[in-house]
């Protein structure tokens, strides 16, 4: 049994569009061990900020297989699975330390949070959503838990705007 566990490696599954969870559940029902890294991400929906849980790597997740004892044949025909990722003719193992690093970041429910970028006063920022989308400005201050003050140059005039920190990204020069 010790020798078989040394043969187990992680491999990458490519799923059908938006069927990562379906494929994962179907593979687990067949006795395979899988790992689908999930992210908790802030989104805007109808003007409101909502938190969604989404796959970290859309259309991809990991499967733990033994090259000697696991039957690989049913994997490709599993509902939701497109294929095992291959380089050449053989599936390529994923480094164990990558899986360990990803799993360390999971919270108790198996989901990871995207850290909100910490901006410094005076840093150039870009607004990525909302009515000021595409504008670049200067980060001025954090005004509350989720709101910040940004100095924008609109038609040659400086204007201060309070925006949700989740809509900011670093400026692209």
101 and 142, same domain (yes or no): no
Q: Which residues of 6-18 are buried (b: 16+ CB within 10 A; e: fewer)?
A: eebbbbbbbbeee
Is 0.85 surpassed by the pTM of this model? no
Predicted local confidence at residue 129, as pLDDT: 77
Judge contact between 93 and 67, C-beta under 8 A: no
Q: Which of 163, 3, 9, 18 is nearest to 90 (CA)?
A: 9
Predicted local confidence at residue 2, as pLDDT: 46
109 and 128, same domain (yes or no): no
Predicted local confidence at residue 85, as pLDDT: 92
Collapse the DSSP code of 71 into the 3-class scheme (helix H, G, I; strand E, B; otherwise coil) and give the result. coil
107 and 133, same domain (yes or no): no
Torsion of CA 42, 44, 50, 55, to 10 degrees: -50
Strand bridging mode 90-91 / 81-84: unpaired
* Domain assignment present for 8: yes
Could you list the mean pLDDT of each consecutive 10-residue stretch along the chain, which spans 173 residues? 65 96 97 94 71 90 91 93 90 91 90 76 85 86 76 80 81 74
* Domain assignment present for 119: no
Judge contact between 24 and 36, C-beta under 8 A: yes
109 and 163, same domain (yes or no): no
Predicted local confidence at residue 68, as pLDDT: 83
The token duo for 142 is: 């954090």
Q: How many structural domains comprise the chain?
A: 2
56 and 85, same domain (yes or no): yes
69 and 14, same domain (yes or no): yes
Predicted local confidence at residue 145, as pLDDT: 63
The domain of 95 spans 2-113
Predicted local confidence at residue 116, as pLDDT: 64
Strand bridging mode 111-113 / 124-127: unpaired
Enter the DSSP assignment of 165: G
Q: Which residues of 66-92 are buried (b: 16+ CB within 10 A; e: fewer)?
A: beeebeeeebeebebbbebeeeeeebe
Predicted local confidence at residue 9, as pLDDT: 94
Predicted local confidence at residue 4, as pLDDT: 44
């Amino acid at each position: 049994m010790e020798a078989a566990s040394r043969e187990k490696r992680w491999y990458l599954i490519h799923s059908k569009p938006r069927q990562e969870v379906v494929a994962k559940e179907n593979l687990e029902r067949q006795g395979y061990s899988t790992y689908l890294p999930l992210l908790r991400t802030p989104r805007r929906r109808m003007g409101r900020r909502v938190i969604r849980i989404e796959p970290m790597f859309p259309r991809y997740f990991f499967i733990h297989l033994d090259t000697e004892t696991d039957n690989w044949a049913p994997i490709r025909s599993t509902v939701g699975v497109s294929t095992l990722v291959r380089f050449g003719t053989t599936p390529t193992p994923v480094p164990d330390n990558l899986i360990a690093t990803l799993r360390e970041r999971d919270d108790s429910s198996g989901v990871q949070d995207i850290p909100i970028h910490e901006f410094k006063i005076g840093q150039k920022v870009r607004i990525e959503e909302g009515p000021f989308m595409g504008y670049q400005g200067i980060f001025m201050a954090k005004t509350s838990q989720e709101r910040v003050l940004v100095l924008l140059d609109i038609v040659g005039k400086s204007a201060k705007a309070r925006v949700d920190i989740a809509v900011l990204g670093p400026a692209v020069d």
